[in-house]
């Protein structure tokens, strides 16, 4: 466990204790903190089992050792274990079912949730592909935090957007982020800073994943989407 995080956790005990029980309780809280930090028999193995990091929104997260922020992405790229149960396997099945490129799905998952299947946005979007509750219902997703359901539902929704916007990738991504009706009403990528940044970022990550896929397969047999400036 990172020592900085351990100190933050334990040094917050006296402050919280004093706020709850008053300054008279500060001394016992300090004694307890001193004991936990320096006298308690912490097994080294237990400390090594957990580590912390600060995510992109500034929140502290604690994970088991060997499971970092890229664990989902690593699983997707290596396909270890049961091929049908990994993120890679789920993406492959959804790709075949709805005729959507795997590199595009990986890029969207990377940008939407950074491969965190428990991710929840401030607006309430959930899971790997950040499905809004109404979208999850429309796509028959009962558990948006289940990777298979989320990716399958998200891919189905993405395929409908691709069809509606005639496989124009920029319009499709804008619709996924800002809503299809808003894109249709303005006839292009809406002049929303967040949406324009989202489209650009997904496109960059998509090109990176597509390059890796081409290098792996040794050919260029990947579906081409329309890419226009809007």
**Rounded to an integer, what is the distance from CA 27 to the centroid of its chain?**
42
Question: How far is the C-alpha of 111 from the C-alpha of 95, rounded, in Å?
Answer: 18
Give all domains of the chain, ordered by start, each with its CATH number.
Answer: 3-64 (no CATH), 72-217 (1.10.530.10)
Check residues 106 and 57 and name the one with the higher pLDDT.
106
The residues near 226 (Cβ < 8 Å, ≥ 6 apart) are 166, 167, 168, 169
Per-residue pLDDT at 116:
95
Q: In the prediction, which pLDDT does 207 show? A: 96
Instruction: Provide the token pair at 154.
Output: 């998200």
pLDDT band at 212 (very low <50, low <70, confident <90, very high): confident
Q: What is the pLDDT of residue 34?
A: 54
Query: What confidence score (pLDDT) does residue 48 get?
Result: 40
Across the strands, what pairs with 52?
62
Mean pLDDT score across all residues of the chain? 76
Q: What is the pLDDT of residues 102-111, one digit of tens each?
A: 999 999 999 9
CA distances 85 to 60, 72, 114, 148, 167, Å, are 29, 12, 19, 8, 29
Query: How does residue 191 score in pLDDT terms, banded at 50, 70 and 90?
Result: very high
Dihedral angle of Cα 17, 21, 22, 26, to the nearest 10 degrees:
-40
Distances in Å between the Cα of 81 and the Cα atoms of 34, 75, 84, 86, 165 are 44, 9, 9, 7, 37
Query: What is the rounded CA–CA span in Å between residue 185 and residue 200?
Result: 21
Contact at 8 Å (CB) between 136 and 126?
A: yes
Task: Give the mean pLDDT of 29-57.
Answer: 49
Query: 150, exposed or middle or buried, with CB in 10 Å at 0-12, 13-18, 19+?
Result: buried
Show which residues are catalytic: 112
User: What sign for the dihedral angle of Cα 6, 8, 13, 14?
Assistant: positive
Kindly state the average pLDDT of the residues 114-130: 96
Q: What angle do CA 81, 84, 85 make, to 5 degrees?
A: 65
Which of 163, 75, 149 lies closest to 115, judged by CA?
Answer: 75
**With bands split at pLDDT 50, 70 and 90, how would you rate the model's confidence at 49?**
very low
Q: Distance between CA atoms of 175 and 188, rounded to whole angstroms? A: 9
pLDDT at 80 over 70: no
């Amino acid at each position: 466990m990172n020592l900085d995080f351990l100190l933050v956790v334990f040094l917050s005990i006296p402050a919280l204790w004093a706020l709850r029980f008053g300054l008279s309780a500060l001394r016992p809280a300090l004694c307890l903190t001193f004991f936990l930090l320096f006298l308690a028999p912490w097994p080294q193995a237990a400390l090594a089992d957990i580590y912390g990091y600060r995510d992109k929104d500034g929140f502290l997260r604690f994970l088991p050792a060997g499971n970092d922020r890229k664990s989902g992405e690593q699983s997707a790229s290596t396909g270890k274990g049961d091929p049908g149960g990994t993120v890679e396997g789920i993406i492959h099945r959804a790709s075949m079912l709805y005729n959507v490129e795997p590199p595009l799905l990986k890029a969207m998952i990377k940008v939407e949730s950074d491969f965190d299947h428990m991710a929840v946005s401030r607006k309430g979007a959930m899971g790997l592909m950040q499905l809004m509750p109404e979208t999850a219902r429309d796509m028959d997703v009962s558990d948006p935090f289940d990777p298979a359901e989320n990716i399958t539902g998200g891919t189905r929704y993405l395929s409908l957007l691709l069809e509606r916007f005639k496989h124009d990738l920029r319009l499709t991504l804008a619709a996924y982020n800002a809503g299809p009706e808003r894109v249709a009403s303005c006839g292009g990528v809406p002049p929303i800073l967040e949406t324009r940044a989202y489209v650009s970022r997904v496109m960059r990550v998509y090109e990176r994943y597509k390059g890796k896929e081409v290098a792996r397969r040794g050919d260029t047999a990947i579906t081409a989407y329309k890419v226009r400036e809007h």
